[in-house]
Amino acid sequence: MPERLVRFAESFFADLDAQLPAERSVDGQASATDFLLYELPRLRDSLAIDFEGRSLPVPDLEPLRVVIAAGALVRSVALYARLDVDGHVVVVAIDIERRTEGEGDDDL
């Protein structure tokens, strides 16, 4: 299966900056950069390799689809994406549920 091109809209980065801090916190909470560096590449790869297989349709809201993951750095994450006219994947938004205080503290 050929890989699709995956683009991230500006709104995606605005969402990300609003939901994760710019710097990694002293208690190990991931920063937006950590997410971009470590978690997003593989999610991007998943969308590129198998957009329909790795994402879920939202009832009545096609062509919008959502990739949901129990995130590695965060508790859970949802990427909202659609296909553009060229067949490229465009990720338009993100929702992140951050880990609660205390989770992962023993790793520090």
Q: Binder to other proteins among 36, 48, 78, 83 (CB under 8 A)?
A: 78
Query: Which CB sits closer to other proteins, 76 or 87?
Result: 76
Cα–Cα distance for residue pair 11/8, rounded to 1 Å:
8
* Residue 49, token pair as written in the block: 């390799």
Give, for 92, the enclosing helix (H) or strand (E).
Answer: strand 89-97
Cα–Cα distance for residue pair 51/79, rounded to 1 Å:
12
Cα–Cα distance for residue pair 97/40, rounded to 1 Å:
15
Q: Binder to other proteins among 26, 45, 89, 91 (CB under 8 A)?
A: 45
Task: Say whether residue 16 binds other proteins (CB under 8 A).
Answer: no
Closest among 89, 108, 84 to 43, alpha carbons compared: 89
Task: Say whether residue 14 binds other proteins (CB under 8 A).
Answer: no
Task: Say whether residue 3 binds other proteins (CB under 8 A).
Answer: no
Task: Say whether residue 52 binds other proteins (CB under 8 A).
Answer: no
Residues in contact with other proteins by CB under 8 A are 24, 28-31, 34, 38-39, 41-43, 45-46, 54, 56, 58-59, 61, 63-64, 66-76, 78, 80, 82, 92-93, 95, 97, 99, 103-104, 107-108
